[in-house]
Amino acid sequence: MEIKHTPRKHMGDVQNGSTHNVETGDIEQLERLGYAPSNMRRNRSTRTLLFQTLAIACVPFGIGGPIISAFYGGGPIALFVGWIVVVILSECVALSLAEFASKYPTSAGPYYWSFQVASKGKTTLSFITGWVWLIANWTITLSVNFGFASLLAGTITMYNPDWEATDWQLTLIFYALLLLSALVCVYANRWLALIDTISAGLIGLTIIIVLIALSVSAKSDRHSASYALGHYEDTFSGWGNLTFFIGLLPSAYVFSALGMISAMAEECADPAVKVPKAMTLAVPIQGIAGLVFILPILFTLAPLEDILAAPYGQALPALLGLINLGSSSAFTAFVSVGVMALEVSYVIPVATSLFHGRRDVNSARFTCGPIIGTTVNCIAVAWIFFQVVLFSMPTVLPVTTVTMNYASVVFVGFAAISAVWYFIHARKVYKGPPASDGISAH
> Rounded CA gap, 118 and 188, in Å?
38
Lowest mean pLDDT among 21-25, 276-280, 324-328: 324-328
Closest CA to 318 of 309, 63, 161: 309
> Rounded CA gap, 134 and 275, in Å?
20
More confident residue, 13 or 211: 211
Whether the pLDDT of residue 180 is over 50: the answer is: yes
The reply to whether the predicted model has a pTM over 0.75 is yes
pLDDT in tens, 306-333: 777 765 444 444 443 333 334 556 667 7
> Residue 314 has what pLDDT?
42
> Residue 325 has what pLDDT?
38
Residue 275 φ then ψ, to 5°: -65, -50
Residue 303 φ then ψ, to 5°: -55, 135
Residue 50 CA from chain centroid, whole number: 14
Whether the pLDDT of residue 119 is over 50: the answer is: yes
Beta bridge partner(s), residue 3: 366
Burial of 141 (0-12, 13-18, 19+ CB in 10 A): middle
Give the 3-state secondary structure of residue 40: coil
> Rounded CA gap, 247 and 256, in Å?
15
Average pLDDT over the chain, rounded to whole? 82
Inter-helix orientation angle 407-421/122-159, to 10°? 140
Inter-helix orientation angle 122-159/110-117, to 10°? 160
> Rounded CA gap, 118 and 355, in Å?
9
Query: Are 338 and 254 a contacting pair, CB within 8 Å?
Result: no
CATH code matching the domain that covers 47-437, chosen among 3.40.50.300, 3.40.50.1220, 1.20.1740.10, 3.40.605.10:
1.20.1740.10
> Rounded CA gap, 99 and 429, in Å?
30
Burial of 134 (0-12, 13-18, 19+ CB in 10 A): middle
pLDDT in tens, 153-177: 877 877 887 887 787 888 888 889 9
